Structures are given as structure tokens and as C-alpha cells.
A and B are shown apart, each in its own frame.
Chain A
Amino acid sequence: MHSVKRERTSAKVREEKRRREAVKIVEYKALVDKVLTSRKNHDYTPGALALTTTLLKQNPEYYTVWNYRREILSSIFQTQTADTIQSQIDNELQFLFARLIEFPKCYWIWNHRKWCLQSSPSPSWKFELALVTKMLDRDARNFHGWHYRRYVVQCTEKATGKSMVRHEFDYTTTKINANFSNFSAWHNRTKLIPRLLTEEPEIDARKLLGNEIYLITQAIYTDPDDQSVWLYHRWLVTSDDIVKLSSDERKDLLEKEIKSIQELLEVEPDSKWCLQSLVVYKGLVATLAGERVESSVHGYLDKLQEIDPMRKKRYEDWKTQF
């Protein structure tokens, strides 16, 4: 054996892999046929359930099979006691968690989990909240996770009779501090703030608005190319959801923000979001004052047409409106 060099294996390895995969494809197709035939035959036995388990492990995107799985479970539940149903659902939830870890963005898995909890005699919302927290730790921008979180929070509130608004508001802060490029977190904040103000009347809404603007300005300066922060900024300065401002107050706020964005534009002359915001905010100021829009807006729109040619016509249209 000495001095005999191992031959290069890459080509052989590739061929071997291809062969193994071909076998897998044949097996998969056979499994699909079997499952679909069982469904046609209204087979609602544990054996059929096991078949869907095997298939969904391989391909969780096959929603027909998830439907079939629910048909089977519903049929099984009809003859069972609450305890047995619960333990069956617990198994189901465990199976689903393993699937979620592998496929965190698959609609059908999240869907099926919701269905399980709705069918559960005694759902543990605490566990679900911990689970979705874990999922959002793994990917803070997974909107499936945020969507599911709102559902879980709603159910928890209903079950306990206690509001979770403060808890959830603080949660979005944590998530934003960890990565502010997160449409879902900012969006959740816009939904939570009005409720927070209703539930905690001692909060000074104007002060809160000021704090939020401070926060978003830090984000805008850190990354002006991030669309999510501009969207939240737009909501803060234009919406009445936080505090109903008089038109003079609104105008002052807009002018203050315009000034801050103009300072940013000086160091980032090619920032599309900067320019767009200036156009929109100046337009609003003009409307509030009942005046014509400042001529500088045309300069911004020219610049936008130049740096964002894909939306050239859109900016042209804006021009005609002013």
C-alpha cells in the first residue's frame, strides 16, 4: 500500500451522488402516488397519517398533503377523548417545530400549526410565544414569524384577560436595536403605539413622538438606503395616530424634519429616499400653508429622474401635479 497515491475521486463522487439522487426521485414519486391514492380512497387510518409524515418531511410545500393530513386528524379526533386528542396534537406540534426549523418560511407549516392550536382542547400559548420568540431569534425578519406572533399574542390576551401591549412594544425595540432593517418590527410598532397610548394614559404622546423621531433619525443617518426606516419616518410625521396635531404644529414638524433631511442630503446627494421624502414633505407643507410648492422640489425631481431612471415617468407625473 505504501507510496500508492489515492486516485482523484471528484468525478466518481459526483456520479455516485447523481445515482443516489435518481433512486431518491423514484422513491419520492412512488410515495406521492401512494398518498394521493389513499386520499382518493378516504383512507383516514394512522397508517395513512404516517405516509403523509414521511412525504411532508421531504416536501413541506405540498399543501394538498397538509389538507389530507387535517382530514385524517379530524376523522381520528371524532372518536377520541380530549386527553388523547391533546397528546396527539402535542406530537403534531413537535413534528411541526422540527419542520419549521428546517423550513421557517413555508406557509403551510405555520397554517397547520394554527389549525392544531385551534383544535387543541388546552393550547399552551406560553409555549407558542417562546417558540415564536425562538424563531424570530433565528431570523428577525421572517414575516411569517411576526404574523404568527400577533396571533399568539391575541390568543394569550384573550386567555389571560391581560394586555401584552407594553411587552410587545418593548420586544419590537429589542428587535430594532438588534437590526433596524426590519419592516415587520416597524410595522408592529405602528400598530402597538396607538394601543399603548390608550392603555397607559400617563404617557405624554408628544414626548413619545419626539422619542420615536429621535430613534428613527439615528437609523436614517446610519443607513439612508434602507427603505423600512423611511417608511416609519413617513408614518411618524404624517399620521395622526400618535397625536392629533393642529395644521400649524404639523407644518412645524414637517419643516423641522425637512431641515434634518436636507442636512443629510448634503453628505448623501444621491440618496433616493432622501430626495423622495423631501418632495413629499414639501408638498405637504405647501398644502397645509395653501401655497405653491417650493421650486426646489423640481430640482429634487430632476435629480431623482437621473439617479432612478426606472421610475422616470413617475417623477414626471409628480412634476405635473406641482
Chain B
Amino acid sequence: MATTTTSAAGSTETCDVLIYGTGLVESIVAAALAWQGTNVLHIDSNPYYGGSWAALNLDELKAWTDRVNEAASNNTPFSDAYLYISRNLDPRKYAIDLSPHILFTRSDLLNLLIKSRVSRYLEFKPLGSFHTFEQDSFEKVPGTKEDIFTSQTLTLLTKRSLMRFMKFVLDWEQNTTVWQEYKDEPISKFLEERFALDAPQIVELVHSIGLLPTPKAPTELALGAIKRYLTSMQVYGNFPAMYSMYGTGGELAQGFCRSAAVAGAVYRLGTKLIGFDETTSDAELDSGEKIKVTEKIISSEGVVAGDEEITRMVAVVEKDCKEWFAEGESAAVVVFPVDTLDGNRFAVQVLVMGSGSGQCPSGQAIWYLSTQESGEQGRKYLYVALEKLEETILRESTENFEFDVNEEEISYLPNGLPVISSVRLGESLRNFTPKESLKYLLKLTYSQKVTVRPIEPTADSKVICTIAPSIDLAFEGIVDQAKGLYELVTGTTDDFFEVDFEDEDDDATATAAAADTDIRDIAEDKEDDVMGHHSDFEEVAGEMTI
């Protein structure tokens, strides 16, 4: 996506607010302030948008790796970057996400994207496939009433317990009596004692639905995390989350920057802020220019990055990995729970992006692995997880995979489909030895300082510092942080994105246009099986815009 970069030379000698860094939070604040009428100058030391959230092509990624390793005192939250890139890759065909995040369909950030109309600059794809690694295979997480109803493995009583919990968690905030005494106790204890749930269900609820690093997570925090997934199901279809194409946080940041530019903010990339004089309010740029800042400087650099370090790995593989994706989708989340990788204390989360995400060419996929374990230990677990991923994808993508089954091991579903006892299936899979090996086109490991819980920004001086991306795999607390910063500048959040777009009457036209498309859809697949579902996301996205 191209964003207009207006030259600031000469004309902009004064601004109300100077924002340094085009990370997601900074970009939202820039757009909010610009639409409110504040005169914003937004600069970034990098030649690209997104800061720690950016998605980089391979040339940019090489330069980034060098920069991260150059000096221990570098001002990024990143360190210890090791990069391997195989030869003959077209650098521009890749977008490697430095801090990949998913967007739940019921979240304040999505609401803001729609309200601000920044969603119109972006293309979203659904993410409905969440797996838990259990006994050497990937189990699809039962996240809805329908999954539970149709499950062939859950007993009747487990179905009941799971549903009871899911109903409770939808308004857990009101039902304090149920969880109050477990508030700071591990979520696993609460689920076991209060809802009689068994270990496999607890693991799925905690790790894959809640995306929590450990079942020891305090109950109060965990319930919020679990609810987030469950309320997001069925908002736009049979998936709880989405992501923007060509890069997750970085694209969002760029979208907000574009919106800010439309509202009059001035942009300058590849420009460093090298000094600020509190008494004269003069900001000095590395271009030699001096800018008078009348109100505040918001800076993402020179910040205490975060209190916790996570370890990341990115692997580009020569496999499309479609076995892991839901029909029509191009991404999946796989979680390795605690104690599944030679004694890992924290889960390893994997975001798998296929070529449909626009991040890599077709026939390939990107695996983004991360864990809260730091340093050497963290890298060790990521490599074990990588091995498991490799085994699994080789096994699942082998077409003529056969093994002997006895009649007794097959049971039949009510609709007549045969199913093989899963225990037996698990055994056979363990004995499977892949005939081929997996080709890695790129491997990158690095450490990243992250924020565990969002901190209230404070304005001790004219310079306000923002905080690093959070530890969560999903965007969390972003809008609150942006609002906090906005309030420090304007004194209120009442008019945060109170924008009158003056064309709300266009809605009817949009509906009519959607109906036209539908008619064409039906006309085109007239000959197809009429049972086929027409739940393509384009249609959903169309309904989403307001």
C-alpha cells in the first residue's frame, strides 16, 4: 500500500504534536489527532512504516538484522537476530512480520478500524483454524456449540460441562460468585473444580482458545481471554479472528497513517529525531531541520521497551500447509501446550500463514513461532516445536498414506461416514516415517522485549513515551493505549475519532450493490451443487463496512 509522503521541508516549521515512530499505537494516535484538528508531524527513522510492527521484504529484513545486531544499545526491542536466507528468492515476494498479531472479530480495534474507515484501505482474511498439539497430532479446537454437538470424541457429560462453562464465561464479569475465590488462582484449578472439566479440555480452553502461555494464568485474566475468542465466533462467519493481508500490525499502522495524511498530517520516513530542547520546544531532525513543537512529542524510541522477553522464530517452508487451514482460508494457529516439548514451561504459539495471506509466494508458507521462554532455552523449545511441525506437515501432506485397519476399529457416524478409532490412528501416525524432507527457504530467530500488561502512559514532560507491542498473539489493549495518549494531548477522549464522514446515505446503495453481486454468484454457479456454501469472505467483508 502506498501512502503519500509529503515533504516537510521548509513549510512545516511548527507543529502541534510531533510523533516519532509509526508503530500501531503511534499511527492510531496520529490519525485521531489529525482528524480532531491537531497539526501533526509524523516521522520514522526507518524507511518503512510500522516500527516494531512492520512486515519487511527480504532486503529490508537483512538490513534490519544487521541493525539489531550492530549495537547492544540499539533502541529497538529486538536482539540476538540470526537470519538464514536460501539463495534465489525474490526479496519483494515476501512480507516477514516482525510482531505478527491476529485480530478478534469482536474487539475494540476492529470497531475502531470500521468506525475510522481505515478498514477500507485493508483486505482482511478469516482465521478459523485453531489447533492444539496433543499426542503427536493436531486436534481441532471445539470452539462453538456446533463443534461440541458434532464432536465424536467428547462424552455426553463432557459436552454438558463444556457447554456449561461456555455459557458462564460469556458474562463471567457479572457472575462474580462463581470465580471470586479463584480470582488469582490458576485457571486450570478453577476449570477442574468448578466445571469438572478434564485435562484435554482445560488445555484447549487455556492454550488455544485463551491463547494463554500457561494453565497457571490467574483465573480473572484467563476468563477474559477465553471470552474474547468465544464471543468472536460467528460474528462474520465460522471463524473468531482475522488478519490483514501483506502483514498484520504493520498494514494496520500504515492504514491509520494514510487516514492521518488524508486529515492533514505530514509524513516523513527515514528521518531521525536527534534532539529536543524542552525550554525552547525545538525538535532537531537528522536532516538538520528544527521544528517548533507547540504541544507534545510522542516517541516510541528511547523507551523502556518492555518487562518481559519473548523468543521468536520465523521459518519459510516449501509447502503450502493447506492441510492445516479451514476451507477457503489461508492461515492457522497451532499451539504446543506446556510439557509437550521436553518440559516447556510456557506454550509455544505458532501462526501459520499461507500464500493467500500475501506474505509469501504460492506453494510456500510462513511459520511464526513464539514463546515466553527467553534466550537459549526459548530457542531450544522453538526448535523442538519446529521439528514437530515438520513431521506433522510431511505426514499429513503425504497422499498415499495407508495403514491396516480392522473392521472393529471402524465405527460409523449417524450419517453413515466411517471413522477410525483415534487411538489406533495415533499409533499408526507415530510409526510413520516421512519419505521426503522439508525444505526451509528462510529461518530467522530473535528475541523481543514485550509488554506483558499495558501500562498507562504518563506525561511527566513534553515528551511522552509509548510502549512496545504486547505479549499477546492477538491485538490487545491497543485502542486503550492510543486513547490514553490522545487524552494526554487533548485532555479528553470524547472526540476520539468523532468524524462526520457526511455520506452515511450511501448505505442503501451499498446493499443494493451487494445484492447484485449475490445474483451474479448464484447465476454463475447455477450448475454447481446447490448445497455448496457461499460463505466467501468478500461478501462478509462487504457487510462489515459501515
Chain A residues near B (Cβ < 8 Å): 2-6, 8-10, 13, 20, 94, 97-98, 101-102, 126-127, 129-131, 133-134, 137, 167, 170-171, 173-174, 177-181, 211-212, 214-215, 217-219, 221-224, 264, 267-268
| A267 interface neighbour in B157, B516, B518, Cβ under 8 Å | B157
Can you list 10 residue pairs at the A/B interface with Cβ under 8 Å?
A: A2-B14, A4-B37, A8-B495, A9-B500, A101-B514, A130-B530, A134-B518, A137-B535, A219-B149, A221-B160
Q: Which residues of B contact A127 (CB under 8 A)?
A: 522-523, 526
Closest 3 CB pairs of A and B: A6-B37, A98-B515, A211-B414
Contact partner, B522, options A5, A130, A177, Cβ 8 Å: A130
Q: Output the nearest chain B residue to A98 by Cβ-Cβ distance.
A: B515
Q: Which chain A residues lie closer than 8 Å to B294 at the CB level?
A: 3
Q: Which residues of B contact A137 (CB under 8 A)?
A: 533-535
- Is the Cβ of B146 less than 8 Å from the Cβ of A180? yes
In the bound complex, do residue A126 and residue B531 qualify as a contact, i.e. CB atoms below 8 Å apart? Answer: no
Question: Which chain B residues in 239-253 approach chain A with CB under 8 Å?
Answer: none
B342 to chain A minimum Cβ distance, whole angstroms, is 37
Say whether B429 faces chain A, with CB atoms less than 8 Å apart: no
B525 and A101: CB pair below 8 A? Answer: no
Question: When the two chains form their complex, are residues B149 and A133 in contact, meaning their CB atoms are under 8 A apart?
Answer: no
Interface of B is mostly: helix
Bound-complex Cα distance A9 to B499 (A):
8
**Neighbouring A residues of B409 by C-beta, 8 Å:** none
Size category, B interface: 35 or more
CB distance from B355 to the nearest CB of A (A): 27
| Chain A residues positioned under 8 Å from B318 (CB to CB) | none
CB of B150 within 8 Å of the partner chain? yes
Q: CB distance A133 to B414 under 8 Å? A: no
Contact of A8 among B498, B512, B526 (CB under 8 A): B498
B145 contacts A173, C-beta separation under 8 Å: no
Question: B515 is contacted by which of A97, A178, A264 (Cβ under 8 Å)?
Answer: A97
Across the interface, do A222 and B36 meet the contact criterion of CB distance under 8 Å? no
B145 contacts which chain A residues (CB < 8 A)?
A: 179-181, 222-223
C-alpha gap A6/B516 in the complex (Å)? 39
Given contacts A97-B519, A101-B518, A223-B163, whether A3 and B531 have CB atoms under 8 Å apart is: no
Cα–Cα distance between A5 and B40 once the two chains are bound (Å): 12
Contact residue among A173, A181, A221, A222 (Cβ-Cβ distance under 8 Å from B415)? A173
Assuming the contacts A130-B526, A137-B534, A222-B149, asked whether A98 and B160 have C-beta atoms less than 8 A apart, the reply is no
Complex Cα–Cα for A219 and B151 (A)? 11
User: Is B300 an interface residue, CB under 8 A from the partner?
Assistant: no
Beta-carbon contact of A218 and B159 below 8 Å = yes
* CB of B52 closer than 8 Å to a CB of A: no
> Within residues 474 to 529 of chain B, which ones have a CB less than 8 A from any CB in chain A?
494-495, 498, 500, 505, 511-512, 514-516, 518-519, 521-523, 525-526
Within the complex, the shortest CB–CB distance from A196 to chain B, in Å, comes to 13
Q: CA of A101 to CA of B156 in the docked complex: distance in angstroms? A: 39
The complex places the Cα of A174 from the Cα of B163 at a distance, in Å, of 21
Query: Cβ of A215: which chain B residues have Cβ within 8 Å of it?
Result: 414
Q: Indicate if the CB atoms of A129 and B498 lie closer than 8 Å.
A: no
Q: How far is the CB of A210 from chain B (nearest CB, A)?
A: 9
B512, closest chain A residue (CB): A98
User: Hey, which chain A residues are within 8 Å of B525, CB to CB?
Assistant: 130
B148 on the A face (CB < 8 A)? yes
Name the distance in Å between B128's Cβ and chain A's nearest Cβ.
13
B105 within 8 A of A: no
Contact: B150 with A177, CB < 8 Å?
A: yes
CA A133 – CA B523 in complex, angstroms?
A: 13
A2, A131, A180, A212: the one within 8 Å of B149 (CB):
A180
Cα A97 to Cα B522 with chains together (Å): 11
B530 x A133 contact (CB < 8 A): yes
Q: Tell me the complex Cα distance, A173–B416, Å.
A: 12
Closest to A100 in B: B515
A43→B356 CA distance, assembly (Å): 56
Nearest residue, chain B, Cβ from A124? B526
Chain A residue with Cβ nearest B157? A267
Given A102-B515, A178-B146, A222 contacting B37 (CB threshold 8 A): no
A211 to B531 CA separation, bound complex (whole angstroms) = 23
Q: Is B16 an interface residue (CB 8 A)?
A: yes
Whole-angstrom distance between the Cβ of B335 and the nearest chain A Cβ: 24
- The CA-CA distance from A130 to B14 in the complex, in Å, is 61
B526 and A222 within 8 A (CB): no
A133 touches B531 (CB 8 A): yes
The one of A2, A94, A134 that contacts B39, using a Cβ cutoff of 8 Å: A2
List the B side residues contacting A129 at CB < 8 Å: 530
Cβ-defined contact, A221 with B156, below 8 A: yes
Residues of chain A with a CB closer than 8 A to B535's CB: 137
Tell whether B370 is near chain A: CB-to-CB under 8 Å: no
> How far apart are the CA atoms of A101 and B539 in the complex, in Å?
12
B160 touches A267 (CB 8 A): yes
In chain B, what residue has the closest Cβ to A17?
Answer: B504
| B374 CB–A CB distance under 8 Å | no
**Contact present for A177 and B149 (CB under 8 Å):** yes
Given the complex, which residues of B lie within 8 Å of A214, measured CB to CB? Answer: 414
A-chain residues with CB within 8 Å of residue B530 when the two chains form the complex: 126, 129-130, 133
Tell me the residues in window 139-197 of chain B with beta carbons closer than 8 Å to chain A beta carbons. 145-146, 148-150, 156-157, 159-161, 163
Tell yes or no: B466 within 8 A of A by CB. no
Task: Quote the shortest CB–CB distance from A26 to chain B (angstroms).
Answer: 16
Is B38's beta carbon under 8 Å from chain A?
yes
Q: A8-B494, A97-B519 are in contact. List 5 more A-B contacts (CB 8 A).
A: A94-B519, A130-B530, A174-B531, A180-B145, A267-B161
A215 to chain B, nearest CB (A): 5
> Are A170 and B531 closer than 8 Å at their CB atoms?
yes
Query: Given the complex of chains A and B, what is the CA–CA distance between A112 and B542 in angstroms?
Result: 28
Give the contacting residue for A131; candidates B14, B36, B150, B522; CB below 8 A: B522
CA distance A171 to B161 in the complex (A): 29
Please state if B37 and A5 are interface contacts (CB–CB under 8 Å).
Answer: yes
Q: How far is the CA of A300 from the CA of B37 in the complex (A)?
A: 67
Residues of A within 8 A of B35 (CB): 6
Question: What's the minimum C-beta distance from B182 to chain A, rounded to whole angstroms?
Answer: 21
CA distance A97 to B520 in the complex (A): 11
* Smallest CB gap from A220: residue in B: B156
Bound Cα distance from A181 to B145, whole angstroms:
10
The complex places the Cα of A13 from the Cα of B502 at a distance, in Å, of 9
Could you say which residues of chain B place their CB within 8 Å of the CB of A134? 518, 521-522, 534
